[in-house]
Structure 1
Amino acid sequence: MSSTTDSAPELKRDRRNRAAPRTRLDHFPRDPIARWMLRLGLATPLVVLALLLDAVPRPTTSPNAHLMDDVAAIDWTRGDAEWLALLYPHISTFIAASNPFGRLGLSIMGAIAAGFLLQKVAEIIAQRAIPRSTGVILIFALAANPLFVYFALENFQGFLAITFLGLALADVVRFVNWGNTESGFRAGILLMLAALSDPTGILYALVAVVASPFLRHGRSSTRGLRAANMLVLAFPTLGAFATMMFLNVLFFGVLWPVNDVARVVGGIPDALGALSDGAGTATGWLLLAPVASAWLVAAIVRRPAAIPVSTIVAVMLAVSFVLGAFHPAAAGIAFTLLTLLAITLIPAARTPLTNVLVDLVAMLQIAIAWAAALNRDVVVVWMQSVADAIALVVS
């Protein structure tokens, strides 16, 4: 009798200490302190690098340099509807305008955004039960290369947009796969924030909406479910831009400022020429390599539905380039976007052989990223600035 009584407190303590089974809706890590420590740990190396780069000359053609120039030229005494449209991308513009540290401040904020993005990627990997070895390789493939670091530190508005996309993708998976309605609304708002952070954010919102029907649906028998999900994801972005266009039409009789439209239309011939010249070159092949890798992984895990998604995204990237959505000195957008989508859309391998094959393709992505970085002049010049900063500290 006494032995049974003595064991009761031990059983209660064991129940209290036993961790609840992980579900696909859990954050990663589940402990908020550990989650913030992970974000901080992932952002710290980039913050340190941003501080080092501030001590040496850097290229003045970077997107961050142009963003600061654009902010300095804004007439803050205006307050009309057309002026509101001219402030686009609004989120990045207001953040840059309130930033007292110039390019250094933009780089540090980009580094912090990278910590949030990589933590969210780790969460997607954990929620989808991807093997740990594959998950580590995928994160290295995404972030351990000059393309990603340059993107984070020198293109704040573009990286902020893709960070919002990364945060949205986890909610898109929860919403579509497991029917979590709250996640659907949150994903729609995050996609709207991406679209208001950079012109490429419009592309990201389109990609997320177009990719959602290709995810496995938890209630696939419901009629019209895919169209309804797409509308939920797209509605906040459509509403934000419809409001601005309505105000412009109401007060000025145009959907969007004429100068912006003329600039986009006037740049199409040159962009088409650059796209044509790049086809068949090393640059063109390196841009297509992540698409081919996505096809290969889809074939390995027997998920052919993922192949049309990567193909559609490649076409969207080309159209966005022609329409001038990319800054001339931007780099790493296509690689980062396609790698994020691969992590989100491709199901986990279920056999040892497929695990090994997926790991090999992921390691190939690392080589592709470095080759693409060394093929971009703006990134090579920036890497020289990194080498100069490190040499200054060591000497």
Structure 2
Amino acid sequence: MARAVTPFILAIASCLPSTPIRAADSPGVITAAVERAFRPLLKEYDVPGIAVAVTVDGRRYFFSYGVASKEKNVPVTKDTLFEIGSVSKTFTATLASYAQALGKVSLDDRPGKYMPQLRESALDEASLLNLGTYTSGGLPLQFPNSVTNGAEMATYFQQWRPSVSPGAQRQYSNPSIGLLGHVTGLAMNGGFADLIETDLFPKLGLGHSYIRVPEAEMANYAWGYNKANKPIRVSPGVFDAEAYGIKSTVTDMIRFVEANIRPETLDAPIRIAVEGTHIGYFRVGEMVQGLGWEQYPYPVALDRLLAGNSLTMAMEPNAAMRLNPPQTPSAPTLFNKTGSTNGFGAYVAFVPEKKIGIVMLANRNFPIPARITAAHAVLEQMAAEAP
């Protein structure tokens, strides 16, 4: 969860080197920027381990700090698997966009088209687009504790009543985007996890990303650490896979970022799918909400980026203004997404026009403002003279 920005966080930007990073420069300049931004976070927030990857004009740089397991003293590497939390939502969005590119769904469809139990329910007034942009009318951040299986999920949605009309407000919601992923799986005649792992990941070139970590990869799966400093991993729950269930490495995640920076390198229809997640549909305060990704005109001031990723944006309903027509990228844009589970924290941001991007994965859910401030400082250094 976001917190107020501390003097330490604000100091990160000021202590970075004044020399801008150039794509042709030695890796030492990039190393200096990342070191100054991220290494202090381990001590400040008692983070056991952090992995960072940056891409600059197609060049990748990797940085590893600390340990993946305190008990076994296993070091973090670029191949360590972290829970990416709600960054998983960007993959759910990409799968839905892929299904639309294949003609399996339309974002204008109602969920009842694929879940007959929801026909004539209040929720069926919302579209799949509303589900993917958290504008269905007030679905909550989490399911009630009483919802523990598919049947209870369907009953909950049948009985749910909106607080506002679809499209009037954005209320960040796991059940909302979770239902988008679920009906996408139904429309594609497959289970969501299977479609992500066996179809989407390979098409994006991701060979070490999972919803269900195989036994052969468990040694690479970091332990997260909760507030009591106890080792922890994500617990099962309804729509966990769709909303926050992916485990990945910085190596795979920077490939995903590069696919988003240059979707033209992908084969259709996955190219169309990725491009579809870059469309903005609703203006909400300081940011524009698309499918999965949240957008800002670039360059973006740190305070605006922090406001768009604030606790208010995550935990409260916010007025939404439908963009008509939807906003297609025609000017430099920063795309970003935060993610957290009880033991992990993540942040991803990229600017396609500048060909720069950054991924940070950690095995503690430390404050979002600290993640964003560090990443923003490094991105600004990279962008200063990037192509």
TM-score greater than 0.5 by the shorter chain = no
So what's the TM-score if we normalise by structure 2? 0.26
Which structure shows the bigger proportion of residues in helix conformation? 1
Which structure shows the bigger proportion of residues in strand conformation? 2
* Higher RCO (CA < 8 A, seq sep 6+): 2
